[in-house]
């Protein structure tokens, strides 16, 4: 017997047929044939007590065998809850992309708006990881559209979509979407943490766009009400301010914001944010060419970094310091240590940062064969969807232009590499 997606009436009729019972068999239990027929054809909704009476009648008429097919809870379960529970199981499946059309037909049939939204959100996440960004955008837009259709708050969808657009370098779109996340959240749930988070990511996006003054305007607006910056978001806001100020007024002037954090009791309240501060301080000193202080700060950050990718980024910067002071073997040690974590991550920006650092070192040491090997490795990452083919093409084009600009004598020296990038 299968109770999947059956109304209570359909389950009663199915159970009767299974046990070869007529509707009149229930008359002795106070349930008329007419009334039972109305329930079975979904023309009448029975109250819970009536369903209990019917179920007890089944127990009596089947000598308890009904219990091996349905518990009372299962017997009474409305069809919408049956579908919801089934969907919850399916949405944990790795086959979601293959079953997308099937699942959407089911949720549309039963008008389960929240599941429509959730499925498209999950699909957006899937395509982001698969680096199919057009399909990612398609599903996030569908999820947002359905959230509005069903009058649900779309601000978290705007936020997640905006964060991902920022990660893949679609900064203009990210600004628009994150702005919508902020405006909608402020209107529908003004006390939510999302109001602050959207602004922080908006400022970070402006920083990536080199629109430092716009980023500064956003964080200064946040800091006007710093008492409302909950759960350590004050720390995050001040770090973003330092990033923008570093570009506008130089590293030395912006450093005071980081020391303001270190000298306050805020990090005692939110110690998990310490690694951000020390990492930012290390980067600040690195850009100021104060390598000893940079190394000191980054080594404090390293054991505090919670994620492997975070640790790898800090380790990469330590490698950069050794490169800058001419300790190339030590630099290579750190680059090699971070290679797998960074190149297998989902952060394209971090991958490009690592590639730039490694290429600088190879070129500095005139290790031209290693340059070729690196690009062969990048091609293998393209083949497993870990690096965009378009970006590999851009990198190869850039290297080709560099070699094309060499004198004919030097070009002859690197002919094999020149031909490799020309292909």
402 and 335 within one domain: no
Average pLDDT over residues 75-91: 83
| Best CA proximity match to 239, nearest among 101, 222, 102 | 222
Is the pLDDT at 2 greater than 50, yes or no?
no
Give the pLDDT confidence score for residue 1 in this predicted structure.
42
The enclosing domain of 13 has a CATH number of 1.10.260
Render pLDDT for 267-294 as a digit per residue (tens, 0 to 9).
887 788 889 899 999 999 999 999 999 9
The pLDDT value recorded for residue 423 is 57
How many domains does the structure of the chain reveal? 3
Query: Domain residues for 13?
Result: 8-77
Which of 333, 350, 367 is the endpoint of a domain? 350
Residues 345 and 393 in one domain: no
- Using left for φ > 0, alpha for ψ between -120 and 50, and beta otherwise, residue 31 falls in beta
| 301 pLDDT more than 90 | yes
Q: Provide mean pLDDT across the span 143-151.
A: 93
- Overall average pLDDT of the 328-342 stretch: 97
pLDDT at residue 204, rounded to an integer: 93
Distance CA 404, CA 384 (A): 31
The larger pLDDT score, comparing residue 286 to residue 239, is at 286
Asked if the model's pLDDT at residue 202 lies above 90, the reply is yes
Q: What is the CATH number of the domain that holds 327?
A: 1.25.40.10
Q: What is the band of 174 on the pLDDT scale with cuts at 50, 70, 90? A: very high
Q: Let me know if residue 273 belongs to a domain.
A: yes
Distances (CA, A) of 128 to 90, 118, 135, 138: 20, 15, 8, 11
Distance between CA atoms of 20 and 71, rounded to whole angstroms? 20
Beta carbons of 267 and 235 less than 8 angstroms apart: yes
- The b/e string for 270-306 (b: 16+ C-beta within 10 A; e otherwise) is beebbbbbbbbbbbbbbebebeeebbebbebbbebbe
Q: What's residue 318's pLDDT?
A: 97
Q: Please state which of the ranges 124-128, 229-233, 267-271, 387-391 shows the lowest mean pLDDT.
A: 229-233
């Amino acid at each position: 017997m299968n109770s999947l997606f059956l109304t209570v009436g359909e389950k009663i009729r199915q159970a009767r047929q299974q046990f070869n019972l007529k509707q009149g068999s229930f008359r002795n239990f106070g349930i008329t044939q007419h009334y039972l027929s109305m329930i079975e054809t979904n023309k009448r909704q029975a109250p819970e007590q009536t369903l209990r009476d019917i179920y007890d009648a089944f127990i009596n008429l089947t000598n308890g065998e009904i219990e091996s097919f349905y518990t009372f809870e299962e017997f009474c379960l409305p069809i919408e809850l049956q579908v919801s529970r089934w969907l919850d199981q399916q949405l944990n499946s790795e086959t979601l992309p293959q079953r997308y059309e099937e699942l959407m037909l089911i949720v549309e049939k039963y008008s389960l708006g929240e599941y429509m939204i959730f499925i498209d959100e999950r699909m957006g996440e899937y395509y982001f990881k698969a680096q199919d960004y057009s399909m990612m955008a398609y599903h996030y837009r569908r999820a947002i559209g359905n959230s509005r259709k069903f009058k649900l708050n779309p601000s978290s969808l705007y936020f997640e979509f905006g964060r991902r657009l920022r990660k893949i370098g679609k900064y203009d779109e990210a600004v628009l979407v994150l702005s919508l996340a902020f405006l909608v959240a402020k209107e529908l749930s003004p006390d939510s943490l999302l109001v602050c988070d959207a602004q922080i990511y908006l400022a970070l996006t402006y920083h990536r766009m080199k629109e430092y003054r716009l980023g500064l305007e956003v964080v200064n607006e946040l800091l006007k009400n710093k008492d409302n910056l909950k759960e350590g978001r004050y720390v995050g806001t001040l770090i973003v301010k330092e990033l923008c100020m570093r570009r506008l007024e130089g590293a030395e002037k912006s450093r005071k914001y980081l020391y303001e954090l270190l000298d306050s009791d805020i990090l005692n309240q939110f110690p998990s944010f310490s690694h951000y501060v020390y990492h930012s301080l290390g980067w600040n000193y690195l850009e100021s060419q104060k390598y000893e202080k940079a190394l000191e700060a980054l080594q404090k950050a390293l054991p505090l970094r919670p994620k492997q990718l975070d640790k790898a980024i800090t380790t990469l910067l330590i490698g950069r310091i050794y490169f800058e002071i001419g300790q190339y073997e030590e630099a290579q040690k750190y680059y090699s240590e971070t290679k797998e974590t960074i190149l297998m991550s989902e952060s394209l920006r971090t991958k490009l940062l690592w590639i730039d650092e490694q290429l600088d070192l190879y070129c500095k040491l005139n290790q031209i064969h290693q340059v070729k090997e690196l690009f062969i490795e990048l091609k293998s990452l393209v083949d497993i969807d870990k690096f965009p083919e378009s970006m590999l093409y851009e990198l190869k084009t850039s290297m080709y232009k560099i070699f094309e600009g060499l004198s004919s004598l030097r070009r002859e020296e690197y002919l094999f590499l020149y031909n490799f990038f020309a292909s």
